[in-house]
Each structure stands twice: as C-alpha cells, then as structure tokens.
Amino acid sequence: MRLIIFDLDGTLIDSKNDIADSVNYTLKRLHLPSLQNSLIYSYVGNGVLPLLEKVISCSNKKSNLENALKVFRKHYEEHLLDSTRLYPGVMEILKHFSDVNMGLVSNKPERFVKKILKGLNVDCFFPVVIGGDTLKTKKPDPEGVNMIRNRFGADLHETVIVGDGGVDIETGKEAGIHTCGVSYGLRDRKELVEAGAEIIIDDILELKNHFNSGFFNV
C-alpha cells in the first residue's frame, strides 16, 4: 500500500462536541430551539451547509440559511479546538505509517481542517489536504481522492480510504480504491456495512493488522 487517504471528523478527531456547541449557538442566535447533541452528530459528514439545512429543518420556523452559515462559521472557527482531540491511537498510527504517503479528504471547509491539523500537531503528516471547498466537488465525488492519488503516483490497488461514514466508502468505491470503515466515529456501523466497506475496524490501531509486506489484506 502506497497511499492512505483519511477522513477527518469521526476518523482522526473527536470533534463532535465543538460542532454541536456551534450549531446550538447558531440556533440560539436565530431564535430557534436547541437540539440534542446526539441528533446533531448524526447530521455531520456532508459539510457545513447540509448540516445547517438539516438542523434548521427540525424547526417549523423559517430562517435565513446565509445568515446561519455566517454565524456558525465565525463561532466554529473561534472554538474548533475547545474540546476537539485526536482519537486514541491516532498519533501512534500516523507515526507508524510515516513512511507511507498520506492524504486527507474532508467535507469540512479547508481552512477549518488545516487549523485543526496544525493545532493538534499532525499537519506534518499530510502534505495534501482537500477540504469541502477546495474543489468544486466534495465527497462522495472522487475528484479529491483522484487528485491526491495522482499527486503521489499511486495506483488504484495501492490506495485505501479510511473513514467513519458511508460517504467515505462511497467515495472510495467511486474512485475504485480500497475502503476501510471505522466503527468508533460519528456514524453508525450499519451505515458502513450498507455502503459496502471492504473492512470495518473498531480501533484505528487495527490498521496495522491489514498491512502485510505492503499489501492490504481484504
């Protein structure tokens, strides 16, 4: 395996509380009722706009989505590292595979992604970072994956995407690469199964078990 492409939220970082706090702050500013954190978590994964569309739709009141975006982005950028941390084992796995090319594809805006990676001291592992607004497309479109793969000259069979959501698995399938789901993140394991993940791991450190002499065992 020459290239590992990681998702961010729910895969490398536990960011759910900071996201939920910013969502409920936004709802409060819009004079809308707050939501249970668990419900907000279930909406994370497809980008900021879809997230806010879903949380606002939970209320019978109409609200200005453009204003909601403005409020959320400002608040989240100021608080995105309040409680966000790497999942256990992530730093160890990044160091373990430091001689393997690694990239990152997230549907979170690029500036947020880079600020988090730098704040958690893992930006050095990712020479290529694709955010939700880096390209005209975002996951599950395979454009970001293809761009990273071309950058490193990695063939399809030499590349794997690792993520916690069905959108990550769909992206990998669209790109024609290997897919690995993680069950400890923001999404339900059932979603990974239904998306057709080649393997599903319960701990990021299990990645070591699926690399044998440079080959992905599926």
Residues annotated as catalytic are 7
- What does the DSSP 8-state code read for residue 133? T
Nearby residues of 24 by Cβ (< 8 Å), 6 or more positions away: 34, 35, 40
Measured distance CA(142)–CA(31) in Å, rounded: 38
Phi, then psi, of 101 in degrees rounded to 5 = -65, 135
Distances in Å between the alpha carbon of 102 and those of 51, 67, 99? 27, 36, 9
C-alpha 4 chain-centroid distance:
14
Q: Give me the helices (H) in 10-142, please.
A: 16-29, 37-42, 48-57, 65-79, 90-96, 110-119
Find tokens 């939970």 and name the residue: 58
**Helices and strands in the chain: count of H runs, count of E runs:** 9, 10
Q: Is 10 helix (H, G, I), strand (E, B) or coil?
A: coil
